[in-house]
């Protein structure tokens, strides 16, 4: 038995849950390997889910046996899977470092200490939700509080104007603690982001611009050689993603879509093979869940 997760995020670029369900409902009782690799690119979350399930068949990685005689996933097994797959507190033996997602606004000024005490050294702060002046005040205090060895990522989710983005890039250049600014402006402003990436020393990472593998390939073909944030659960075919990343020298940061333990496990397997080891992956999100979620 193989397990995979279909976790659509339509506002970010994937199919809707309804479209994913409709696709699943029309599938035959027995699904072949050919069926799985024939899933169209317009259903990237389905591609990820089915291919992940195929790759886990017979592995016994979920503690449910292997092959057709494997047992169904019990609630106890699911609980142990969730504990293991969602564990993201880094330590000296971790193969992959995780970044810690901070809350917006002033709450970040206290939240970072919790992550730091748990071993996190990279932090991500969402911006573009308040006025520039309000966020700059919080930012100034945050960078003063963070230890010199910390790294800070800023994520605007494409919500800044070009003028605001340029101001933040200039501030980041002067600060020296910013690892990168993630998707400062709209994906529609690709050429402007390409221009800004050459004007400032602070790196820019594409996120919404590269939600799917097709978009990633397009941005690469159009000249982007900066950082790519990949949300594996909605990017599309893991097989094609591996092939692209292994044949192109790109700087990758894998990130979560708040998927469940099954999708998280599959995404982290990809991250372990393909991520830039000098960068933390965006899976430090456990503190946003309650214990029973």
Indicate which residues carry an active-site annotation. 126, 231
Residue 18 CB contacts under 8 Å (≥ 6 apart), including other chains: none
DSSP 66: S
Q: Is the distance from CB of 231 to CB of 256 less than 8 angstroms?
A: yes
Nearest to 226 by CA among 256, 188, 200: 200
Q: Which residues pair with 59 in a beta bridge?
A: none
DSSP 95: S
- Tell me the CA distances in angstroms from 24 to 8, 39, 187, one per residue in order: 13, 11, 30
107 burial (CB, 10 Å; 0-12 / 13-18 / 19+) is exposed
159 burial (CB, 10 Å; 0-12 / 13-18 / 19+) is middle
C-alpha–C-alpha distance, residues 190 and 188, integer Å:
6
């Amino acid at each position: 038995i193989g397990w995979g997760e279909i976790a659509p995020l339509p506002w970010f670029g994937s199919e809707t849950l309804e479209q994913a369900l409709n696709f699943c409902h029309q599938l035959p009782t027995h699904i072949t390997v050919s069926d799985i690799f024939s899933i169209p690119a317009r259903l990237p979350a389905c591609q990820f889910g089915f291919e992940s399930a195929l790759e886990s068949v017979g592995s016994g990685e979920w503690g449910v046996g292997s092959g057709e005689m494997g047992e169904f996933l019990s609630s106890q097994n699911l609980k142990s899977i969730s504990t293991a797959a969602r564990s993201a507190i880094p330590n000296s033996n971790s193969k992959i470092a995780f970044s810690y997602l901070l809350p917006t606004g002033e709450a970040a000024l206290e939240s970072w200490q919790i992550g730091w005490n748990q071993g996190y050294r990279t932090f991500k702060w969402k911006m573009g939700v308040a006025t520039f002046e309000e966020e700059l005040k919080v930012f100034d205090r945050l960078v003063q509080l963070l230890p010199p060895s910390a790294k800070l990522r800023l994520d605007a989710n494409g919500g800044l104007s070009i003028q605001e983005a340029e101001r933040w890039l200039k501030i980041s250049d002067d600060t020296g603690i910013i690892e990168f600014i993630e998707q400062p402006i709209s994906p529609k402003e690709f050429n402007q982001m390409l221009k800004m990436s050459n004007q400032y020393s602070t790196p820019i990472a594409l996120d919404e611009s590269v939600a799917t593998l097709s978009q990633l390939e397009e941005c690469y073909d159009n000249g982007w050689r900066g950082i790519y944030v990949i949300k594996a659960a909605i990017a599309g075919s893991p097989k094609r993603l591996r092939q692209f990343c292994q044949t192109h020298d790109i700087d990758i940061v894998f990130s979560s879509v708040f998927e469940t333990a099954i999708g998280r496990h599959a995404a982290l397997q990809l991250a372990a093979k393909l991520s830039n080891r000098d960068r933390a992956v965006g899976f430090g999100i456990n503190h946003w869940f309650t214990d029973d979620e």
